[in-house]
Amino acid sequence: MLQQLAKNINTDFPFLKDKKLLIAISGGLDSVVLTHLLAQLKYDISLAHCNFQLRNEASNLDEVFVKNLSEKLKIPVFSIQFDTLEYAKKQQLSTQLSARKLRYDWFEKLSENHAFDYVLTAHHADDNLETFLINLTRGTGLDGLTGIPPVNGNIVRPLLKFSRAEIQKYALENNIKWREDASNAETKYVRNKIRHQIIPVLKELNPSLLKTHQKTTDFLQQSQEIVTDKIQEITAEIITKETKHGNDFIKINIAKLVKLSNPKIYLYQLLKNYKFTAWNDVYNLMYAQSGKKIITKTHTLLKNRNFLILSSTNKTENTTNQNISINKNIRKITNPIQLVFENISEKIISTENSIIVAENLLNYPLYIRTWKTGDYFYPKGMTGKKKVSKYFKDEKLSVFDKNNTWLLCTADNQIIWIIGKRQDRRFLSNEKTTKLVRITN
């Protein structure tokens, strides 16, 4: 197995050579064997052990075992204890998901603080099959059937081609000791139930199940590459990216999307990384009234006329109901937007991003705020007044644009400027004006 692993690393993971590696070690069979193998192959390795405090004294004995192993092999070790149950309660997550998040967040910190190039985990072929079956029973797309990725960012899994039986055989032949987790035998967990009750039956039907599954995974991964290529092609045709008010937006052209052979599937592929789950609602949003939207913890998807517009939720929903005060002596602000105030002596032409106003008409302190129902102003170049909401509608602004458009107002709440869009004519200078202020966005 040692020679085979060396060969696999040279073929599949040549980038590991001469790198600083961190092995995630539980004390169990798989991670202990991985540690011994890489130590024999003279890689620059350190160990990282998480004590999740879920199995009372057994968890502490695992930690002691790993520390003793590191001393025996003369390998640096990092260990940490987590109150996993308390974390799960606060975050409203399952114990397993909590442990996973705590583990990988810690690995990331260790990598940053100690300059580790890669984190290695001991996932093997049986883990890959179990994950495939779990995803299959829960319902999944192609992504869920392509298996555990050998490389995912800085996470590398060099044992994926080896079975649990091969790993155990190597340990026994080389007198390697490890810790058994008694919870692995309990069938109350989905993974353990599949491991102990389902897979043995499948292996009876097909003794070469792991090899067969590996072939299937290879075929699915190749199919996924074709899908990825097609999605990239479609993305170039129907998606545009914009940046407004410091926020990034993705616009999906609905008219072009519905002409595709299966718009729902294409929409899923385009948006699957943005935490949406109610895919029927996402699909139906294409045919909904303009202004309708779906919000997740991370993103908002808005129907705006002929487009679906995607943006980060925390960037599009957090600007309302803010009032920023500007005193007369302030010459520049940068938050929430940039404005520069300059006294000038000669009148110059105003633009969307720069207006000229009569200083004597400015009632300080000025305020910057977002719009609210009932707001109105007197648009430059027009007669009469106009509701800001009507102006937004006429300009065909999306909800995102409205929420990120700021108004410059006087102390008595008169609108001076819909910033970056239209000036109020009440604050224009005339022939008798001697002092002018240029306000630039």
pLDDT over threshold 90, residue 401: no
CATH classification at residue 108: 3.40.50.620
pLDDT at residue 245 in the model: 58
Q: Has residue 234 been placed in a domain?
A: no
pLDDT at residue 230 in the model: 93
Q: Do 402 and 267 lie in a common domain?
A: no
Per residue in 251-307, pLDDT (tens digit) is 999 999 999 999 999 999 999 888 888 888 999 999 998 888 888 888 889 898 899
Q: Do 179 and 36 lie in a common domain?
A: yes
Return the top range by mean pLDDT from 81-85, 285-289, 394-398: 81-85
pLDDT at residue 320 in the model: 47
Domain, as residue range, for 252? 245-312
Percent of the chain at pLDDT > 90 equals 69
Q: Do 308 and 330 lie in a common domain?
A: no
Binning pLDDT at 50, 70 and 90, where does residue 124 land? Answer: very high
Q: Do 127 and 28 lie in a common domain?
A: yes
pLDDT over threshold 80, residue 432: no
Say if residue 28 carries a ligand binding annotation: yes
Beta bridge partner(s), residue 372: none
Say if residue 384 carries a ligand binding annotation: no
Q: Do 5 and 101 lie in a common domain?
A: yes
Q: Average pLDDT over the chain, rounded to whole?
A: 91
Q: Has residue 37 been placed in a domain?
A: yes
Q: Has residue 229 been placed in a domain?
A: no
Query: What distance in Å separates the CA atoms of residue 437 and residue 108, rounded to the nearest whole number?
Result: 51
Measured from the Cβ of residue 88, the count of other Cβ atoms closer than 10 Å reads 18
CATH classification at residue 249: 3.30.465
Binning pLDDT at 50, 70 and 90, where does residue 322 land? Answer: low
Greater pLDDT, 294 or 16? 16
Beta bridge partner(s), residue 332: 340
Q: Has residue 319 been placed in a domain?
A: no
- Structurally, the chain folds into a number of domains equal to 3
Binning pLDDT at 50, 70 and 90, where does residue 249 land? Answer: confident
CA 92 to chain CA mean position, Å: 19
Say if residue 22 carries a ligand binding annotation: no
Q: Do 277 and 356 lie in a common domain?
A: no
Binning pLDDT at 50, 70 and 90, where does residue 398 land? Answer: confident
Say if residue 153 carries a ligand binding annotation: no
Q: Do 256 and 292 lie in a common domain?
A: yes
Out of 100-114, 226-240, 406-420, 423-437, pick the least confident: 423-437
Q: Do 212 and 328 lie in a common domain?
A: no
Half-sphere exposure of 96 (CA within 13 A, CB side): 7
pLDDT at residue 102 in the model: 96
pTM of the model: 0.69
Q: Has residue 228 been placed in a domain?
A: no
Q: Do 18 and 150 lie in a common domain?
A: yes
CATH classification at residue 348: 3.50.40.10
Q: Do 268 and 398 lie in a common domain?
A: no
Q: Has residue 318 been placed in a domain?
A: no
For the stretch 96-111, what's the b/e string if a residue is b when 16 or more beta carbons lie within 10 angstroms of its beta carbon?
eebbeebbeebbeebb
pLDDT at residue 321 in the model: 54
| DSSP letters spanning 352-395 | TTEEEEEGGG--SSEEEEE--TT-EE-BTTSSS-EEHHHHHHHT
Say if residue 325 carries a ligand binding annotation: no
Q: Do 284 and 369 lie in a common domain?
A: no
Q: Has residue 239 been placed in a domain?
A: no
Q: Do 328 and 299 lie in a common domain?
A: no
Q: Has residue 3 been placed in a domain?
A: yes
pLDDT over threshold 90, residue 87: yes
Report whether 203 contacts 209 (CB < 8 A).
yes
